[in-house]
């Protein structure tokens, strides 16, 4: 196992001091350590992080680090091939890639395919890598950093550390607790929404704990899951799936339960709602100001105004709520409303320790959902 402070100190010997990326549960210790550092920018998506790292390299000449879950490689491929590649600007950077869905390790369905192709994808991208495991020692780590640095410095191109689970020792830190007076939890808010929506409403829920909580609430209420599409992967894309279902199924009210991190990841998705004429769409961002599902690392959710953005994107009605009562009133207000609606729900961070995972597969979910909305 590697000590995260030793790891970062070793990097700084090579003037590798700038970190950017999107947090991942496998990189939680690194993210926790970095949360106290100034040269760490939590990016909206992994492609943005590659570009931020490029800018920092151009400005300083020092090699930057980009961290991400392997699912984020998808977002990073375009800037890797058309900005960072040797054929273009030839930018060295160290990628830290959390290896979810690693073959042989039990993981969730959304991680399986990317887990299988992670090393192959790095090969296709011509990015050499080394795998950090629970058995990687401090001496190994120092050797790997030296080799990575020599490669990046000589070739002026990226190198990757692929990070297996339990590779870092637990890092105890005093969490910079976000002071918020919000009283609603995400689970509370979801409960209120599914209890106060129009009867036949459809739900498209974002990745992470939102979908897990929606699933468990249905179980608790003994309701079936057929009206819900649990988008366990493809972070940031739930609202676009919801928009096109809403466009086809005008007779149904379509709710998208989004997260602030997910909405930020592909914010441009908000811009097409007006041109799609989806008067039956209710886009709800559950804003806890952080990536709660992977460890609570901050987003800019509490610092920006999603409602202003939604207004500028021409949603017909835009509402911000921060209490149980105001959420219930907003849901009453939009009942039978003919127009697209955006609601930002200000919530506190946190979730139940015993929160489970969906026990139906995405394929089962797809068939029951399609059956529910057909005709």
Cα four-point dihedral sign 10, 15, 17, 20: negative
Residue 240 makes contact with ligand TPP by CB under 6 A: no
| CB of residue 360 to ligand TPP, shortest distance in Å | 19
Q: Tokens for 263?
A: 């909405």
Residue 288 makes contact with ligand TPP by CB under 6 A: yes
Residue 259 makes contact with ligand TPP by CB under 6 A: yes
Which residue number, 157 or 287, has a Cβ lying nearer to ligand TPP?
287
Q: Tokens for 31?
A: 């993210």
Measured CA to CA in angstroms, residue 184 lies from 188, 257, 350 at distances of 6, 15, 10
| CB of residue 170 to ligand TPP, shortest distance in Å | 20
Interface of this chain with ligand TPP, residues 219 to 238, rule: CB under 6 A: 235
Which residue number, 80 or 152, has a Cβ lying nearer to ligand TPP?
80
Which residue number, 209 or 283, has a Cβ lying nearer to ligand TPP?
209
Interface of this chain with ligand TPP, residues 42 to 101, rule: CB under 6 A: 69, 71-72, 75
Residue 213 makes contact with ligand TPP by CB under 6 A: no
Spatial distance between the Cα atoms of 207 and 213, rounded to a whole number of angstroms:
11
| CB of residue 218 to ligand TPP, shortest distance in Å | 18
Which residue number, 280 or 351, has a Cβ lying nearer to ligand TPP?
351
Residue 22 makes contact with ligand TPP by CB under 6 A: yes
CB under 6 A: which stretch of 187-195, 244-252, 285-293, 330-338 binds ligand TPP? 285-293
| Among residues 48, 54, 205, 207, the one that binds ligand TPP under rule CB under 6 A | 207
Which residue number, 107 or 372, has a Cβ lying nearer to ligand TPP?
107
| Among residues 216, 260, 322, 344, the one that binds ligand TPP under rule CB under 6 A | 260
CB under 6 A: which stretch of 51-59, 197-205, 208-216, 366-374 binds ligand TPP? 208-216
| Among residues 254, 290, 313, 327, the one that binds ligand TPP under rule CB under 6 A | 290
Residue 21 makes contact with ligand TPP by CB under 6 A: no
Residue 17 makes contact with ligand TPP by CB under 6 A: no
Q: Which residue is nearest to ligand TPP (CB)?
A: 259
| Among residues 208, 211, 240, 346, the one that binds ligand TPP under rule CB under 6 A | 208
Which residue number, 92 or 208, has a Cβ lying nearer to ligand TPP?
208
Work out the angle at residue 122's Cα, subtended by the Cα atoms of residues 117 and 128, and round it to the nearest 5 degrees: 140
| Among residues 28, 209, 212, 282, the one that binds ligand TPP under rule CB under 6 A | 209
Nearest to 138 by CA among 9, 16, 27, 7: 7
Which residue number, 291 or 320, has a Cβ lying nearer to ligand TPP?
291
Residue 205 makes contact with ligand TPP by CB under 6 A: no
Q: How do 297-298 and 290-291 pair as beta strands? A: antiparallel
What HEC string does the chain produce?
Answer: CECHHHHHHHHHCCCCCCEEECCCHHHHHHHHHHCCCCCEEECCCHHHHHHHHHHHHHHHCCCCEEEEEHHHHHHHHHHHHHHHCCCCCCCCCEEEEECCCCCCCCCCHHHHHHHHHHHHHHHHCCCCEEEECCCCCHHHHHHHHHHHHHHHHHHCCCEEEEECCCCECCCCCCCCCCCCCCCCCHHHHHHHHHHHCCCCCEEEECCCHHHHHHHHHHHHCCCCCCCEEECCCCCCCHHHHHHHHHHHCCCCCEEEEEEHHHHHHCHHHHHHHHHHCCCCEEEEEEECCEEHHHCCEECCCCCCCHHHHHHHCCCCEEEEECCHHHHHHHHHHHCCCCCCEEEEEECCCCCCCCCCCCCCCHHHHHHHHHHHHCC
Q: Mask of contacts with ligand TPP, 101-140, x by CB under 6 A?
A: ----------------------------------------
Q: Which residues bind ligand TPP (CB under 6 A)?
A: 22-24, 69, 71-72, 75, 186, 206-210, 235, 259-262, 288, 290-294, 299
């Amino acid at each position: 196992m590697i000590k995260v402070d030793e790891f970062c100190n070793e990097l700084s010997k090579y003037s590798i001091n700038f970190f950017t990326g999107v947090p991942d549960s496998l990189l939680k210790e690194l993210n926790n350590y970095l949360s106290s550092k100034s040269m760490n920018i939590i990016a909206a998506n992994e492609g943005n992080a590659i570009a931020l790292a490029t800018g920092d390299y151009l400005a300083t000449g020092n090699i930057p680090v980009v961290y991400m879950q392997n699912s984020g490689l998808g977002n990073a491929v375009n800037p890797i091939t058309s900005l960072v590649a040797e054929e273009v600007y030839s930018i060295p950077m160290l990628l830290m890639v959390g290896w979810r869905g690693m073959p042989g390790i039990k993981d969730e369905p959304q991680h399986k395919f990317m887990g299988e192709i992670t090393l192959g994808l790095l090969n296709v991208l011509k990015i050499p890598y080394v795998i950090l495991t629970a058995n990687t020692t401090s001496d190994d780590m120092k050797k790997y950093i030296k080799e990575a640095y020599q490669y990046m410095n000589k070739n002026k191109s990226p190198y990757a550390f692929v990070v297996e689970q339990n590779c870092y020792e637990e890092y105890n830190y005093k969490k910079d607790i976000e002071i918020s007076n919000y009283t609603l939890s995400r689970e509370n808010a979801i409960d209120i929404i599914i209890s106060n929506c129009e009867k036949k409403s459809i739900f498209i829920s974002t990745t992470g704990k939102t979908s897990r909580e929606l699933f468990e609430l249905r179980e608790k209420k003994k309701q079936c899951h057929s009206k819900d599409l649990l988008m366990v992967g493809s972070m940031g894309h739930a609202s676009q799936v919801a928009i096109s279902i809403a466009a086809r199924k005008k007779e149904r009210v379509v709710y998208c339960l989004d997260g602030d991190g997910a909405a930020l990841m592909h914010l441009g998705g908000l811009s097409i709602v007006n041109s799609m004429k989806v008067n039956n769409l209710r886009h709800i961002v559950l804003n806890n100001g952080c990536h709660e599902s992977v460890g609570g690392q901050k987003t800019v959710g509490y610092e920006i105004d999603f409602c202003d953005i939604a207004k500028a994107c021409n949603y017909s009605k835009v509402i911000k709520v921060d209490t149980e009562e105001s959420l219930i009133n907003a849901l009453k207000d939009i009942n039978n409303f003919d127009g697209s609606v955006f609601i930002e729900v200000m919530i506190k961070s946190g979730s139940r320790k015993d929160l489970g995972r969906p026990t139906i597969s995405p394929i089962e979910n797809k068939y029951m959902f399609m059956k529910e909305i057909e005709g």
